[in-house]
Amino acid sequence: MTGWVLHVDLDQFIAAVEVLRHPELAGRPVIVGGRGDPTERGVVATASYEAREHGVHSAMPLRTAAKRCPDAVFLPVDAPAYEEVSAVVMDTLRASAPVVEVLGWDEAFLAVTTGPGQEPEEVAAGVQRSVLEATGLHCSVGIGDNKLRAKIATEFGKPQGSFRLTEQNWFAVMGERPTDALWGIGRKTARRLAELGILTVADLAATPAQELADRLGPTMGPWYRRLGRGADTSPVRGEPYVNRSHGRETTFQQDLTDPRRIEEEVRRLAARVGQDVSAEGRPAARVGLKIRFAPFETRTRSLTLAAPTEDPDELGAAAVRLLERFALGDAGRPVRLLGVRAEMAAPDPADRSGAKERPQTGAGS
């Protein structure tokens, strides 16, 4: 018996769910985001492959997406619908593998084993058939000898396919790719590595751990080198997901400049976060505030509470204290977005009964 990790990723999940709900949209460029109005402020949650061909991608302003793809169909985000379909997908995956680690609405790791003469691609194909039969949705599957390689392999299998990435073919596939092709390295870190002359995955793997530790820190430096070698020892965990935080944010169609109105909106968001925290049944230990000034400058502040609490008034008061750190003044800078987030105290390991089975995405107004 041979153990494998499969990374299952639903293809264009949100857009695909919308096409299932609206079959007449099949083959057309579909963009989901905000309230579905590209004349309003908001960002793209997802775009169909047809829209991506025009350069549309997630987190892009809706107005920009409309300019790039004027013939696209714009739809509002409908989180409950996506959660409902996601639940069916995850139940299907649990029936296909003994251990499933949910990463979000549309992706999960599976720990599987193959017997003599059986290839993991056969297991992956079976998972794809099961998901398609249960939901009408297609998925791609990355096959790896650990979670890191399985996650990266998925991109080579998209769409609707599978790809195997292991220690044996790691450098043949990944060696000459840029460092930000690695799961865990973004553009900012890639730029820092480039300043050190580290441009490719092979460069990173060949750099001495001590050199990376000296330049990037004793913890992160060696960890980046392990990424470069595709090394990962973390197991696939099947425990129910436990929320670490709850957040609410809203983008205003008209910039806010009145400090009193800004404070009112902060308290309103904090009250909604307090309701989410109370429903979770675990008190918040830390509060964060995000402000996006016009045109697009984002700043954040956070503080640790004197004692964990579920009281919306206390969370609101903490958020207002954070607001004061921005020193908006009587005629503050125009504010286009506000967000409040509460980080919850760690759960009691002996009580996982209230654990959520699916991660929550950032909830908007």
Q: What are phi and psi of 198, to 5 degrees?
A: -100, 105
308 vs 314: CA distance, rounded Å: 10
Annotated active-site residue 107? The verdict is yes
Contact 130, 110 (CB under 8 A): no
- Give the DSSP per-residue string, 203-225: HHHHS-HHHHHHHH-TTHHHHHH
29 vs 71: CA distance, rounded Å: 7
Q: Is the peptide bond before 308 cis (omega within 30 degrees of 0)?
A: no
Catalytic choice (50, 101, 107, 280): 107
Contact 260, 328 (CB under 8 A): no
* Token pair of 147 as six digits: 């979670």
Bridge partner list, 363: 248
* Tally of residues, the chain: 365
DSSP-derived letter for residue 345 is P
CB atoms within 10 A of CB 217: 12
**Catalytic residue positions, numbered:** 107
